[in-house]
Structures are given as structure tokens and as C-alpha cells.
Structure 1
Amino acid sequence: MLAVALAVGTLLATAACSDDGDDSASTDASAGATSSAGQGTATASPTPTPLTSAGAQTALITAGDLEDNWTQVQTAASWRNQLLIGTVDAAQFLTGKTQAADCQRLLDGLYDEDLLGPPPGPSALTGFTEGNSRLLYQVAAYQPASLDQSFDWLKSLPTACDQFNAVGSDGSTRTVQVVEASLPKSGDTRQGLTVTVAGPSGGTPVTLTIDVAVVRVGDDAITVTNGGTDGADHDSTETAVSQGTNRLKDVQEGRSPASEPSEFD
């Protein structure tokens, strides 16, 4: 009898161990299935497609993206403002030639409308007018390292070029001020500036005020310059940045931008 009892006890213990092993294996299998299911339902971010010439055109904002009474024009590529022509006086800077070169690059970039340098990839631009103000909007593809350097330079300008003088071709002196300007949190990185140039034009003292906004989205960038002798409408600059960034992201991800903005602030 004792032998039978021991045998039964051994069988029960063996069965219990077997059951414990099955439960553990079942739990592990269930956890694995849950993990696999979770991985299977994860949504990967779309990979941006390289900007094409057609894509750059599609990414441009329209008059419908802007508030107020901006009118789109076809002559923006030829816009130039003579007040931006001048030679920076290096003698007024603590570091002389280095700071002067940064400030000269700013004036030349604003005049030539290529603050980030000539784009090596596809690009497009458009312009709008409202009274005496002009808003130029550009989209272009760049090299990543070049964009890094350009943004480092832009971020240094409110300190390096906070105020300086430039001498025009007629010998007149222009006073230039550069201050940082806020922008919506759009794109990967951004830099806003307000540049004021005061000097004579045709014998009359005038002041040109320009908003500058540059936004990076991947390896592409948006550049906005907006202003005139009547000042700069910063709200329009912010709207161009917000709506333009959305349009560029849509193009990068293979979607068609909305024909009208979803909302204005």
C-alpha cells in the first residue's frame, strides 16, 4: 500500500510540474503574440521624397493662404531694393573683417534674394504686394551641411550685426539694425529677423523695414522676406510660415496641399 501511495504522489507531482511549464510557455507565447501584434500596428513616419521642380511649385503659397489683401504677382524674381546696396564699414566692429563679412553677406543676400545661397537643387519662388509692401516667398532644396552652416550664420546676426553702417554707391550712409523676431514653431528649425535700413533715397530720408523668416523642413527650406517703407506686417510673415510649412510637408509626403488654409490665427 505504501508503495502504491508513493507512486500516486509521484505521478501527481509530475503532472503539477508539467502544468506549470505549460502555463509559463503559454504566457510567453501570448506575450510574444501581443508584442508582435503591437509591432505590426505601429505606424512608421512617411519618408520625405526629394523635392522636384514640380513639387517646389506646388509647395508655394497662394494669395488664398494669406490674410488681408495681398495680390500675387509675376515679377517677384526681378525685385531689387536699392537701399540694400552698400559697403559695410568694418572699422566699427570689434572683430573687424569677420563681423563685417557677416553683415555684408546679409545685405547682399537680401538684395539678391538668396540668403541661403544659390540652391543646388530644385527651387521656386512667388511674390505678393499689398500697398507699398512686398512679400517674397521661396522654396528650395539644399545640401544638409550647407543648411546647417546657413542657420548658424542666421542665428548669429542679431548679435554680430545688431547695428552697423553701410555706404551706398552715391556716398550716402545707411544705418542698419538687425533684431531677432519670433516665428511659429514650424518645421525642424527656424530663424526670424527684422532688418531696418534707414538712409536717403532720391534725396529723401526713408526707412525700409523687412521681416526675414527662414524655416528648415528636412533638406528643404522656406525663405520669406516681407516689408517695405511703410513697415513690415509680422502677422502676414507668420501666416506665410505656418501655411507654407504645411504645404511643403504635404509635398514631401506625397500628398496634395489643401486648396485653402484650414484656419487662421
Structure 2
Amino acid sequence: MTPRPTRLVRALSSTLAAGTLLSTAACSDDGGTDGSRVSGVTASQVAEVRQTPSPTAALSTSGARTALITEADIEDDWTQVKDTEAESWHDSLLVGTVDVSDFVSGKAQASDCQRLIDSLYDDDLLGRPSGASALRGFEQGDSRLLYQVASYDRTDLQDSLNWMATLPEKCDQFTVTDGEEKRTVQVIETSVPKVGDARQGLRVTVQGSVDGNDATLTLNVAAVRVGDDAITVTAGGLDGGEDDSMKQAAQQGTQRLQDVLAGKSPAASPTD
């Protein structure tokens, strides 16, 4: 995991960044017929209901890059940034220590919430890839969208999706402290298009301050498994979430990944 920056570095980062936008996220969706799962159904149960088997070809580094989405896949006014810039996207509002006193079960439950904010900061929500990986970043005004494709150990990958499914209950609301500052974090489940073998969506909001002014970071996150591989989308920022773009990225990105694994060239234009 990337070492945490010092408070001085974080303060400078907040000032220079003109608002600590994360690498990702998007506005929430409290429901919908295209939801990732019905209430009470885990990501692992969703994985059991497959309409078509996933391709089994191993994902190469070049294949991972080919599977990345483009500006056309997410429409609106998103502009692709350099990979080196996207790799450096980290939001200081996500830095801090979870207050254990917020939880009935204490340290065990707090550790899940700590893992959530740490992995959002480090852009490794599904854990470290075991094989090929690639990422691409986009900007639109003060919002950012980070898209990742990677190979994982399948058991670890499904465990991560199952873990994500528990967070809206375990981490529905908690407090993060960073020095003298306290931030309120809320987590809810959001819908994800019915694509891939298993999927999970979250909306994470962090209420804190930037340069002495009240600020709320909103991130919409989607993760979709395709065999041993997965895509992760994080979209949003201080202006709110980007739910529609998150869903478009998940929909089009999953199809691109499936095409690559099947030995096909992804379509140049998005498909419905």
C-alpha cells in the first residue's frame, strides 16, 4: 500500500489541487431495475446466475490496455488525461483513522471501514492484481473518473466483491479522524448494470473541509468480475457523483474486456 503522506504534504496537496478530487466516483443511484443485486443477495450468489460463461483466455498487458474504455464510451465532456497523471490521483479527504467507538463490534467492524477508505485512496479496492493491469483517467470539470482493468486470483477477487457487499451495513456511517479534523463517511449500495459474472456498486460520501471550507467528496464505485479478471470504476468529486458515467463505463468496459478475452477487437463505437 502506498505510504500515507505527512500532514504537511496533505495540506499542500489540498491547497494546490483546488479541492481534493479523487481518482474516481460518481453520483448515487438508490435503486433501479439494473441493480447489481436484490436486497439480501450477495455478490457470490449473483455470480452463480450466469447467462453465458466467461472467456477463459489469460489477460495480457497489451490486452488489458486494449480493454480500457475511451472518451466515446462515457460520452458527456470527459477528457482523457495522461496515465502518469491518473496514477497520481489521491484524495486527502480519504486519509485518516476510523473511530472505533462508532461501532458496536469495535475493532473488527472498524477494520472493514478502514480498509475501504485506504483502498479508495490507494486505488486497489479489489486488492493487488496477480497479473496484467492497466488504468486510464478522465476529467470533466471538477470531476474525475478512474477506470482500471486487472487480473486477480479468482478466489481473492470474489472474496473482495463479497466484502464490498457487506459495507453498506457494516460501514453505513462512521467517523474518520485526521489530526484534529473529524470527517463523517457514509456508504450505501448503488446499482450496476447486469454485466459480467458478478458485480457490486457503492456510493461513498465524505464530509469534511478543504482549505477551511466545508466540503463533501462523493464517489460512485463499480466493480465487475469477468472470470479471473475485473474492471473497477470510480467517478465523482467535490461537485457530486457521476452515476450515469459510472454505469456507462461499467457497461461498455465489461463488453470490451469480454471481447479482448475472446480474441476479438472491441467495437470502435459504444454499443447499447
TM-score, with structure 2 as normaliser: 0.79
Per-residue deviation, residues 194-251 of structure 1 (Å, max 9, x unmatched): 0000011111110000001000000000000000000012010000000000000000
> 2:54·2:227 contact (CA, 8 Å) conserved in 1?
no
Partner of 2:149: 139
Select the structure of larger CA radius of gyration.
Answer: 1
Task: After TM superposition, give the deviation of residue 262 of structure 1 in Å.
Answer: 2.4
Give the gaps of 5 or more residues in structure 1: 1-43
**Number of paired residues?**
219
Aligned mate of 1:115, from 120, 125, 135: 125
Partner of 1:58: 66
Q: Which has the higher helix share?
A: 1
Q: Distance in 2 between matches of 1:118 and 1:49?
A: 20
Task: After TM superposition, give the deviation of residue 45 of structure 1 in Å.
Answer: 6.7
Give the gaps of 5 or more residues in structure 2: 1-51
Which 4+ residue blocks in structure 1 deviate beyond 4 angstroms?
Answer: 44-47
SS at match of 1:83: helix
- Report the aligned-residue RMSD: 1.3
Per-residue deviation, residues 87-135 of structure 1 (Å, max 9, x unmatched): 0001110111111000000000000001111111100000000000000
Q: Distance in 2 between matches of 1:183 and 1:47?
A: 21
Partner of 1:192: 201
Structure 1 residue 220 corresponds to structure 2 residue 229? yes
Of structures 1 and 2, the one scoring higher in RCO (CA 8 A, sep 6+) is: 2
Q: Distance in 2 between matches of 1:165 and 1:51?
A: 39
Structure 1 residue 206 corresponds to structure 2 residue 215? yes
SS at match of 2:240: coil
What is the one-letter code of the residue matched to 1:62?
T
Q: Distance in 2 between matches of 1:105 and 1:46?
A: 29
Comparing 254-263 with 100-109, greater Cα deviation is found at: 254-263
Q: Distance in 2 between matches of 1:258 and 1:240?
A: 14
Per-residue deviation, residues 14-68 of structure 1 (Å, max 9, x unmatched): xxxxxxxxxxxxxxxxxxxxxxxxxxxxxx9784210000000000000011120
Q: Distance in 2 between matches of 1:90 and 1:143?
A: 31
Closer, same or farther: CA 222–46 of 1 in aligned 2, 3 Å: closer
Q: Distance in 2 between matches of 1:147 and 1:262?
A: 27
